Structure 1
Amino acid sequence: MPTSLSSCLLLSTNREAALSNVGINQVEETCQRLREYDVNPTIVRYSLAANAVDSANIVGKELKVGRDRLVPEFNLMDPRAIGQYDMLSLNSTEAAIWALDVDEAGVDGTGGRPPPNEDGTPHETLSNQVTRLTNLLSVLETLYSGDTVLLIFPDGTGPALLAALIGGIPLNRVHELNFSPGEVRLDISVDNIRGMVPLEPPGYYKEIIHKGRKELQDLRSNKDSIVSVKDQKLERERVAIEEDLAKKREEQEAARTNEEAQRAARRAEIEEARSKEEAQRAARREAAAKGGGERQKRREGEGAEVNANSPATGSSGLLVIGGIATAGLTIVASIFNEADNTTVNRLTNQSTVTIDTNISKSVSELVESDNNNTTAISNLKEDSSGIVTSSTSPRRQIVVGESAGATRSGIVATLNETVGEVLTRNIDEDDGADAWIAALSEMMSEDENSASEENPDD
């Protein structure tokens, strides 16, 4: 059963206006009564409203009417258009429309026009609907002469108005003939219709009209506040959508807040880990700096200890030089003995001799490692008179160095100095080689004397 009074064809064809389960049961019961009365319609003419279409399908199924005999009517069976009152609540609006027609429509139904609607919905009087119904009868007489026609209206006022026209009932009393949902009337004739309308309206009808007058007054006094059922439904849907959106926004906001809290917690964890790592790095740097300081102190202590244990620079150099000088003289003496006291004419090749005075090495190792010393001595030529000094002798340069933390020093022979002069001067500077010099002098003197005795002629 519809909950709103709809007169717009577009809205009435909507499936929201289709038959309910109650309506389906009512139509099936009506078909059962028709079979009991042995009524077999050959033509079913129905409105395009959703509830009328459903009713026609049920009738065709129950009464075995072929699809080609179910004929839709496009506009002649449409309900009366009520303008601004369209789609208002059926309980409150239907009584107001009845009261409007009783008080204002008149006998011919030309009065009692509802207020217009801003969406363009027509607002009609009963006389406008009469025109459509008159045309409908003309079509039926033309097309279906001799057939049994079943008309299915979408409302109760349309068939009531058709009955009033057939019976000659004043149109302001048309609602006394209104059809109930699922009601069917047989043997429509003038006498039958007039017999349905008493001289005075029944009591229930008067109550409806009384109620309708109050509703009509309220509608007219609150014209700007009229809201159709459709608009109310749309408003409810809009509110539901807004509430749903608000709920989703709250959920999104809660999720965003939770996500931000989690991000903040992660940032705090990362920052804490970074701080710990920085602290660990600082501790490692501090430990490394402390260890480096200790190692530096140990190196400084070891260096000071080495310096304290090392002999003085001058004495180191002189001791080594003295040793070298002594070794050199010993080698020269042995050459003199083997060469039959031949004279060394002069040095033939220039060379530079570098002597490292590392205290840790012995004099013999230094002499053996210095190839230049060996080369210089092997180049000496035989001379029976011993070492000959000459101003034309090749130039010699001897560099004496020292290590073990002491500064390097050396003795450089001047140009045109002979090996003997260099050795003599080094020996003189060595204050610890006096005993060695005396011994060597004696040995050389003995060698010279022996040579003179063996070769008196020379």
Structure 2
Amino acid sequence: MSVQQVAFARGLFQMPPVRLSNRYFLVRAGESEFESLGVINTNPVAKTSVDSGLSERGKKQAVRAAFDLKEMGACESSCWIWPSITQRAYQAAEIIASVNGVTRSNIVPEYSFLDARGLGAYEGKNLEAVSEVYASDTISPRIKPPPIDDGTPNESVSDVFVRVIQLMSILETQYSADTVIIVSPDSDNLTILQAGIVGLDLRRHRELSFAPGEVRFVDTKSVPTYKQPASAVYKCQNPPNCT
């Protein structure tokens, strides 16, 4: 089954793990300046700004990620690094390349498929407010955060899933038996992608959360123990009046 077929067929349900022709490592970029201030920033207009770059802690996390990849032998033969063009992700990619002896020509900036998940009306709020988004995610992958008129997209899990699967389709077409390191500015791109690859219910993507600077090898056999999401457990006793 191709990556495209998986995208259309999976929906809410578990599917067999997809077969990949390449080795993949997923990396969440280190903490950004905005994150260090505890502020949500997902507007793509600001993704190349200095404030979207790595904080001092984020730089250390990116260095740790680079050495983790080296210890894992990610680039022993050769590898391609695909970072989001978002400032912090590209900075992390340059650090990874330097530590692992990867030339700049093997860094391929990605301009849209790896943008941080757009959180709409949560833009500019405290990072703790993201818990409300994740609560909705467990009910349905199609629930979007409230919209806002400043240009920040409001993306559901399904929206993110479509674009990260498009990225994988490109990578699987462009390379064969290669190693690809995907560097994302946020955790959601990676958790949703990993959930899709291993056949995990997309409502559970948060269970795969990445810490800033975390590195993970894509293992198609690593499916966490199943736990029913809230929408599968809840029963309305008196429709349409449910509490």
TM-score normalised by the chain length of structure 2: 0.74
Paired amino acid for 1:181:
P
2:85 corresponding residue in structure 1 = 48
- Give the gaps of 5 or more residues in structure 1: 202-458
Distance 1:37 1:190, change over 3 A: closer
Matches within 5 A, 1:107-126: 109-110=141-142, 112-126=143-157
Q: Say yes or no: does 1:27 pair with 2:62.
A: yes
Q: Say yes or no: does 1:80 pair with 2:117.
A: yes
In structure 1, how many angstroms separate the alpha carbons of the residues matched to 2:150 and 2:68? Answer: 42
In structure 1, how many angstroms separate the alpha carbons of the residues matched to 2:194 and 2:48? Answer: 25
Distance 1:68 1:178, change over 3 A: same
1:133 corresponding residue in structure 2 = 164
4+ residue runs over 4 A deviation: none
How many Å apart are 1:161 and its aligned residue?
Answer: 0.4
2:221 corresponding residue in structure 1 = 191
Paired amino acid for 2:41:
S
Paired amino acid for 1:115:
P
After superposition, give the CA deviation of every residue in 1:241-294 in whole Å (9 maximum; x if it has no partner).
xxxxxxxxxxxxxxxxxxxxxxxxxxxxxxxxxxxxxxxxxxxxxxxxxxxxxx
Q: Say yes or no: does 1:69 pair with 2:106.
A: yes
After superposition, give the CA deviation of every residue in 1:303-349 in whole Å (9 maximum; x if it has no partner).
xxxxxxxxxxxxxxxxxxxxxxxxxxxxxxxxxxxxxxxxxxxxxxx
After superposition, give the CA deviation of every residue in 1:206-247 in whole Å (9 maximum; x if it has no partner).
xxxxxxxxxxxxxxxxxxxxxxxxxxxxxxxxxxxxxxxxxx
How many Å apart are 1:130 and its aligned residue?
Answer: 1.0
Q: Say yes or no: does 1:174 pair with 2:211.
A: no
Distance 1:62 1:114, change over 3 A: same
How many Å apart are 1:200 and its aligned residue?
Answer: 4.1
Distance 1:190 1:36, change over 3 A: closer
Q: Is the 8 A contact 2:79 2:179 kept in 1?
A: yes
Paired amino acid for 2:219:
S
Matches within 5 A, 1:121-270: 121-186=152-217, 188-192=218-222, 194=223, 197-200=224-227
Paired amino acid for 1:113:
K
1:95 corresponding residue in structure 2 = 131
How many Å apart are 1:7 and its aligned residue?
Answer: 1.9
How many Å apart are 1:49 and its aligned residue?
Answer: 0.9
TM-score normalised by the chain length of structure 1: 0.40
In structure 2, how many angstroms separate the alpha carbons of the residues matched to 1:39 and 1:171? Answer: 27
In structure 1, how many angstroms separate the alpha carbons of the residues matched to 2:64 and 2:119? Answer: 31
SS at match of 2:118: coil
Q: Is the 8 A contact 1:79 1:129 kept in 2?
A: no
In structure 1, how many angstroms separate the alpha carbons of the residues matched to 2:68 and 2:118? Answer: 32
RMSD of equivalent CA atoms: 1.7
Paired amino acid for 1:93:
A
How many Å apart are 1:100 and its aligned residue?
Answer: 1.7
Q: Which is higher, the Rg of structure 1 or of structure 2? A: 1
In structure 2, how many angstroms separate the alpha carbons of the residues matched to 1:7 and 1:16? Answer: 12
Q: Is the 8 A contact 2:70 2:99 kept in 1?
A: no
Paired amino acid for 2:133:
I
After superposition, give the CA deviation of every residue in 1:64-85 in whole Å (9 maximum; x if it has no partner).
1111101100001112212111
In structure 2, how many angstroms separate the alpha carbons of the residues matched to 1:190 and 1:36? Answer: 21
Paired amino acid for 1:17:
S
2:237 corresponding residue in structure 1 = none
Matches within 5 A, 1:390-405: none
Q: How many residues align?
A: 192
Q: Is the 8 A contact 1:28 1:59 kept in 2?
A: yes
In structure 1, how many angstroms separate the alpha carbons of the residues matched to 2:129 and 2:48? Answer: 20
In structure 2, how many angstroms separate the alpha carbons of the residues matched to 1:168 and 1:89? Answer: 32
Paired amino acid for 1:7:
T
In structure 2, how many angstroms separate the alpha carbons of the residues matched to 1:35 and 1:189? Answer: 18
SS at match of 2:112: coil
- Structure 1 range deviating more: 4-13 or 123-132: 4-13
- Give the gaps of 5 or more residues in structure 2: 1-30, 229-243
In structure 1, how many angstroms separate the alpha carbons of the residues matched to 2:176 and 2:136? Answer: 37
SS at match of 2:108: strand
How many Å apart are 1:38 and its aligned residue?
Answer: 2.1
Matches within 5 A, 1:247-396: none
Q: Say yes or no: does 1:58 pair with 2:95.
A: yes
Seq. identity, %: 31
How many Å apart are 1:87 and its aligned residue?
Answer: 2.4
Q: Is the 8 A contact 1:160 1:177 kept in 2?
A: yes
How many Å apart are 1:39 and its aligned residue?
Answer: 2.1
Q: Is the 8 A contact 1:156 1:178 kept in 2?
A: yes
Higher RCO, 1 or 2 (CA under 8 Å, sep at least 6)?
Answer: 2
